[in-house]
């Protein structure tokens, strides 16, 4: 896969898709960047910048943007970077475009709200037969686009595929690490967005750094329960797709989910907080889907349940926080 330059399709011209397009160009591949917005596509081609999502950050001039999925037919590798709730529809359209053996790397983090399925499960249905991998980890798009050092997990059940992808995408500034646990990487990537909302609420409510640290730690326990119950690996939780991504997303205002939580904590309603977000707040969808998955496995996730109650069920924020603080004392551990 990496012996000669490839034509790589990056599907999704938001911040993360544009950043990944630049990553691919740094390893001398030909990149086709698809976006639905024709005006944005034209701007990327004319200005070599994504003014809607990454203003002021130059994109590689070799990137060719298009609003036609049919234009991606020559691709020998596809990075699917559309939001989780749009992935199925776009993938179904891609099924008639991509070659039957073209590997697909899933770069969106979330759980499909309607079916409660992970992105690999959705892709397996919409793009049957294609080799699949998951790219996850602590990544802010603007930093990746600027070429700042970044490490990610590249997970697949096909170790040879993952190894080839590492060589294809890896560079001095973008360092993929192999994983054979795509399920764990996916669940961690979805749940961390829910926990980021909770940490944002803590910040917006000015509950202190101690509370945020406790929330991250106990949130990791909740994430671990669900990953292990679904058959994922404990090592994933301690790696880039687990602790690494959780720490980044729960501590920085660059995170849409964290910023959404901050607005809620300051007293904004859900609609008002969503209106100020630049992009999809995926944690809102993942909260309900995570709890449905957890319920089927009899996994307790009180922090995620509290977030879901506030953002999806109209629960009073102050009462919900009081409910969490009033829970019985327990021992520390994954089974606590």
Q: List, by residue number, the catalytic residues.
A: 192
Integer Cα distance of 256 and 136 in angstroms: 16
Q: Yes or no: say if 313 and 287 are a contact pair by the CB < 8 Å rule.
A: no
Strand partners, 80: 11, 106
Residues 6 or more apart whose Cβ sits within 8 Å of residue 15: 50, 53, 54, 141, 142, 145, 279
Helical ranges in 266-333 per DSSP H: 270-275, 282-296, 302-312, 317-325
Nearest alpha carbon to residue 188 among 152, 161, 149, 157: 152
What are the distances in angstroms from CA 192 to CA 115, 198, 224, 312, 324?
20, 10, 11, 17, 18
One-character DSSP codes across 173-205: SEEEEEES-HHHHHHHHHHHHHHHHHHHHHHHT
At residue 279, the 3 state secondary structure works out as coil
């Amino acid at each position: 896969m990496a012996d000669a330059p490839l034509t790589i399709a990056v599907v999704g011209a938001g911040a993360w898709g544009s950043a990944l397009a630049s990553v691919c160009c740094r390893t001398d591949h030909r990149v086709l960047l698809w976006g639905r917005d024709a005006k944005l596509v034209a701007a990327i081609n004319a200005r070599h910048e994504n003014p809607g999502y990454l203003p002021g950050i130059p994109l590689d001039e070799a990137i060719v943007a298009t609003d036609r999925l049919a234009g991606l037919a020559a691709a020998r590798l596809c990075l699917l970077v559309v939001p989780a709730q749009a992935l199925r529809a776009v993938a179904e359209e891609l099924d008639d475009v991509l070659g039957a053996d073209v590997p697909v790397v899933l770069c969106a983090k979330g759980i499909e709200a309607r079916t409660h399925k992970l992105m690999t499960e959705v892709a397996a249905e919409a793009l049957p037969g294609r080799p699949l991998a998951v790219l996850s980890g602590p990544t802010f798009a603007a930093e990746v686009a600027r070429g700042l050092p970044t490490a990610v997990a590249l997970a697949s059940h096909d170790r040879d595929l993952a190894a080839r992808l590492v060589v294809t995408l890896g560079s001095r500034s973008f360092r993929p690490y192999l994983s054979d646990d795509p399920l764990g990487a996916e669940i961690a990537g979805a749940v961390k967005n829910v926990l980021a909302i909770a940490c944002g609420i803590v910040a917006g409510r000015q509950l202190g750094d101690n509370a945020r640290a406790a929330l991250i730690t106990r949130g990791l326990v909740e994430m671990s329960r669900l990953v292990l119950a679904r058959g994922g690996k404990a090592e994933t939780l301690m790696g880039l797709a687990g602790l690494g991504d959780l720490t980044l997303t729960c501590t920085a205002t660059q995170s849409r989910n964290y910023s959404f939580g901050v607005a809620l904590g300051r007293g904004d309603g859900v609609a008002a907080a969503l209106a100020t977000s630049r992009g999809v707040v995926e944690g809102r969808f993942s909260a309900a889907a995570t709890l449905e998955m957890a319920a089927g496995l009899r996994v307790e996730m009180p922090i995620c349940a509290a977030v879901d109650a506030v953002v999806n069920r109209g629960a009073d924020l102050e009462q919900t926080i009081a409910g969490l603080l009033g829970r019985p004392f327990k021992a520390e551990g994954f089974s606590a």
